[in-house]
Amino acid sequence: MLLHDTGIIFGRYVRQTLRSKFQILFGVLMPLLYLLFFGPLLTGLPLGPSGDSWQILVPGLLLQLGLFGASFAGFALIIDKSTGVVERMRVTPVSRMALLLGRVLRDALLFMFQAVLLVLAALLMGLRAPLPGVLIGFAFVGLLTVSLASLSYALAMKVSTPQGFGPLVNAVTMPAMLLSGLMLPMSLGPGWLDVLSHLTPFRYLVDAVRDAYVGSYATAHMLYGVLVALGCAALAVTVGTRVFRGAGA
């Protein structure tokens, strides 16, 4: 029942996304701009063990894609609430968990596609990374999307207007971006900032993907990154499901 209902909701929102080519391509625009205009500034700088600045920048941009894209996914749910879509779904026998998972899986598919486009562009600009590492990076993007999209939809069920939703999301995503070392390794900063960055879970994901991009898979960074990614995804889906059930969505 859950799988069937999830498939129905997933298919509905996939079809909706496919009708909006602008939505598909616009999400990857900002990371591409960083790739084109910020990446060349790092070329030749010894930022990592491999000395390849692209192996530092691209993993950060991949997770930035998931961080900002998935965090704002709840805007669509607020619109659905205002137009009566959520109210109509309430009177159907569809699983409340499926109402969340169908949306979240659509988001994960969308951002995975955008991540592929970003990596292809990075390869053209000089990125050299092992295929297993690239695939691991995609997996982390998927898990990050599941986590943040679930929490974003949960927040959207509690917030009635986009004006209230946007500032709340920004208050979380901006510090997360600055403290996670998405653009540059936090080890380059002062010690106190490096220590502070370990309080955000995104730091562990960034370090893990960067290890993967240099072909280092059996590392402490990878272990912590996998544990944090899986833990956050499980917790976020649980929270999101409870909110959907409690709200009668």
- Residue 192's pLDDT is 86
More confident residue, 199 or 247: 199
Q: Can you tell me the mean pLDDT for 212-238? A: 95
For 13-32, what is the mean pLDDT? 76
3-class DSSP state of 199: coil
Residue 51 has pLDDT above 70, yes or no: no
Per the CB < 8 A criterion, the answer to whether 136 and 209 are in contact is yes
Percentage of the chain surpassing pLDDT 90? 32
CB-CB contact of 138 with 110 (8 Å): no
Token pair of 43 as six digits: 């070329």
Report the predicted TM-score, pTM, of the whole model to 2 decimal places: 0.88
* CA 61 to chain CA centroid, nearest Å: 10
Q: Letter for the amino acid at 213?
A: Y
Average of pLDDT values for 140-168? 91
Please give the average per-residue pLDDT across 155-176, as a whole number.
Answer: 88
